[in-house]
């Protein structure tokens, strides 16, 4: 079954789909190995891990697609990918959809901020007119060849224009063809509870700093179909690497050994070394000079 079809079925089921955020193929493989059914490619994490930059619209479509392609090739579960503002107007959106689809992405997420955009949990958002976002949604729907590929429409209107406008925009985007609505950065539990009731279609919740943090089953009870945790892997890696480097600098040695407490054999097994060794043995078997 195609990853796009699998993702649609996961969204349609009663149980909430939880997709932690990956910033590269390695973190995507860890998410899959932990038993999650989907991976979310974070734009914030892509900017940070690939370029050491903040999420303020500095990464190009080509760079984002390449990171998504690597993830999609590294895992067997669907990859949901951030596509920022679709990198231009409705015509740019046509090419953005085409490129993400060719990369093996199961869902593309576009948002209604002006370009350059900024992380949804920063301050100072400005939006394009709703009619311009509608044109982008229509372009994405027109461009996709696989009709099962999921189109996620995100609105940052809560921060920029207020909660009521966020609901208005969300329903408009749904009417125009978006499969899943992403109302960014609700700041209260009351707003969280209202969104699934007021949006006419499946909704996504983003677990980032402004969003009230609850058990994901609670979001399921509220009516959310998908929960993403974009910064989880990146922030955990940041904290662990920072601590280990500090220890090495100050102590001159790592207490848990040069590999930081992870056995080398475990790491290479996770990366699939045994498979390649077996393949190599088969390819070289019975060869003579």
| Residue 289 pLDDT | 62
Q: Can you give the pTM of this predicted structure?
A: 0.94
- Mean pLDDT across the stretch 6-28? 97
pLDDT surpassing 90 at residue 46: yes
CB atoms within 10 A of CB 255: 10
Task: Please say whether the beta carbons of 21 and 42 come within 8 A.
Answer: yes
| Residue 125 pLDDT | 78
| Residue 154 pLDDT | 96
Task: Please say whether the beta carbons of 195 and 186 come within 8 A.
Answer: yes
pLDDT surpassing 70 at residue 28: yes
- List Cα–Cα distances, 198 to 115, 164, 202, 228, in angstroms: 28, 10, 11, 20
| H helical segments located in the chain | 3-12, 25-33, 43-51, 61-74, 90-102, 130-143, 157-160, 163-175, 189-198, 216-222, 232-251, 264-270, 273-284
Assigned token pair, 283: 């390819």
Torsion sign (Cα): 103, 184, 55, 95: positive
pLDDT surpassing 90 at residue 193: yes
What are the start and end residues of each CATH 3.20.20.60 domain in the chain?
3-237
| H helical segments located in 89-231 | 90-102, 130-143, 157-160, 163-175, 189-198, 216-222
Average pLDDT score over the chain: 94
Lowest-confidence segment of 2-11, 15-24, 80-89, 204-213 by average pLDDT = 204-213
pLDDT surpassing 80 at residue 121: no
Between CA 182 and CA 274 the distance in angstroms is: 41
| Residue 112 pLDDT | 95
pLDDT surpassing 70 at residue 177: yes
**Cβ neighbours of residue 96 closer than 8 Å, sequence gap 6 or more:** 61, 83, 86, 87, 88, 108, 110, 140
pLDDT surpassing 70 at residue 124: no
Residue 110: strand, helix, or coil: strand
Q: Tens digits of per-residue pLDDT, 68-99?
A: 999 999 999 999 999 999 999 999 999 999 99
| Residue 159 pLDDT | 87
- Mean pLDDT across the stretch 178-205? 96
Q: What is the DSSP letter of 90?
A: H
**Percentage, residues of the chain above pLDDT 90:** 87
- Mean pLDDT across the stretch 198-227? 95
pLDDT surpassing 70 at residue 122: no
Partnered with residue 228 across adjacent β-strands are: 19, 206
Question: Mutual orientation of helices 232-251 and 43-51 as an angle, nearest 10°?
Answer: 30
Q: Tens digits of per-residue pLDDT, 235-268?
A: 999 999 999 999 999 999 999 888 888 889 999 9
CATH architecture of 3-237: Alpha-Beta Barrel (3.20)
């Amino acid at each position: 079954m195609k990853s796009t079809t699998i993702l649609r079925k996961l969204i349609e089921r009663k149980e909430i789909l939880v997709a932690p955020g990956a910033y590269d193929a390695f973190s995507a493989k860890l998410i899959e190995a932990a038993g999650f059914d989907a991976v979310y490619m974070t734009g914030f994490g892509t900017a940070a891990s690939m370029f050491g930059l903040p999420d303020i619209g500095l990464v190009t479509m080509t760079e984002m697609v390449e990171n998504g392609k690597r993830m999609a090739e590294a895992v067997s579960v669907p990859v949901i990918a951030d596509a920022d503002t679709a990198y231009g107007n409705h015509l740019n959106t046509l090419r953005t959809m085409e490129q993400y689809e060719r990369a093996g992405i199961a869902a593309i997420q576009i948002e209604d901020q002006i370009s350059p955009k900024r992380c949804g949990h920063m301050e100072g958002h400005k939006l394009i007119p709703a009619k311009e976002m509608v044109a982008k949604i229509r372009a994405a729907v027109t461009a996709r060849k696989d009709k099962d590929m999921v189109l996620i429409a995100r609105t940052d209107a809560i921060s920029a224009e207020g909660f009521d406008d966020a609901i208005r925009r969300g329903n408009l985007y749904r009417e125009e063809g978006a499969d899943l609505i992403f109302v960014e950065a609700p700041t209260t539990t009351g707003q969280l509870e209202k969104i699934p009731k007021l949006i006419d279609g499946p909704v996504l919740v983003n677990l980032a700093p402004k969003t009230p943090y609850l058990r994901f089953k609670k979001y399921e009870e509220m009516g959310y179909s998908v929960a993403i945790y974009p910064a989880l892997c990146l922030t955990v890696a940041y904290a662990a690497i920072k601590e280990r480097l500090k220890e090495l600098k100050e102590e001159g040695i790592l207490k848990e050994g040069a590999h930081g407490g992870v056995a080398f054999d475990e790491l290479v097994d996770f990366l699939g070394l045994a498979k390649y060794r077996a393949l190599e043995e088969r390819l070289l078997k019975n060869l003579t000079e």
